[in-house]
Copies of this chain bind each other. A is one copy, B any other.
């Protein structure tokens, strides 16, 4: 009877991905294998960092809240402008007006093309910023992955974000991984303002690295963005305004009463437990895996979050 087979098949692709069973590995140093989840669960409280409310955006959609961690170290001018836009209520009542499959959702003022309808910026927001495609990497703590990367000389983490680094030019830049938030621009490299933002929802389009200013990362609520029905246009725009997803508001977390903030911590990327968890993913040893990859791609490294009152979500 075949009935039992689909059953196991359904259970087990899960098992492989989220709850690898414990197994004693015959590794050279004879340490027993621990799964990424086990390593992360055992990490001390100091392994976790709080989000800085002054650099956290809450995007309120009808379906719930999306939490974005801003990256002032990478895009100080854009982040300052985004804060001014949020504090001025710029996005309240705007929309997600684009969802292109395997690429990005984009949001902001859908009427920006129409001078008669376009929203004005708050008084303290700027309409002209420098491009912030890369930053000087000197003195910036960098946790390098040992893995080869085709797009950049080095990849790893800085300020908790996935980044690339070029020692020859002493530059560093954020990478277009899933959930990264970037600022749309014109052909003029210095034409983004942070008012029109996009979020990567597919295979990392890393050809865009160093060509746009990246401003942060969605740390909670990605599923509210990634599952938005795609627009019929080849670029994912909607035909009718009512197809857009309304944005109730985008606020700085520091402007929201503490009791209404989302409790959320992120695993630090500059600690041994993070490195160990990444290695456990790179070379899995469990009952499911026949062939450990021996490699991990920068954009495949989960950046675990947890509600400090509950338990960690170690990710896949």
Chain A residues close to B by CB (< 8 Å): 1-18, 97, 99-104, 106, 108-109, 112-115, 118-121, 125-128, 133, 147-151, 177-179, 183-187, 189, 191-193, 195-196, 198, 202-212, 222-223, 226-230, 234-235, 281, 284, 287-293, 295-297, 299-300, 313, 316
Contacts and interface: CB of A to CB of B under 8 A. Distances in A.
Contacts of A128: 5
Nearest to A134: B291
A4 B150 contact: no
Q: Report copies per complex.
A: 2
A288 B9 contact: no
Contact of A227 (B204, B211, B229): B229
Contact of A205 (B4, B209, B316): B316
B234 A18 contact: yes
A150 B146 CA distance: 11
Given A2-B120, A101-B222, A207 B8 contact: no
Nearest to A300: B203
A103 B295 contact: no
B103 A17 contact: yes
A3 B186 contact: no
Nearest to A126: B2
B127 A206 contact: no
A62 to B, nearest CB: 13
B7 A113 contact: yes
B230 A184 contact: no
A127 B1 contact: yes
Given A185-B9, A196-B9, A202-B202, A99 B227 contact: yes
17 contacts: A1-B127, A2-B193, A5-B186, A8-B185, A9-B186, A9-B196, A10-B97, A13-B104, A13-B212, A14-B235, A18-B234, A102-B179, A147-B150, A149-B150, A204-B297, A207-B284, A223-B230
Given A177-B203, A193-B6, A223-B101, A13 B198 contact: yes
Contacts of A203: 177-178, 202-204, 297, 299-300
Contact of A12 (B178, B186, B209): B186
Contacts of A121: 2
B211 A16 contact: yes
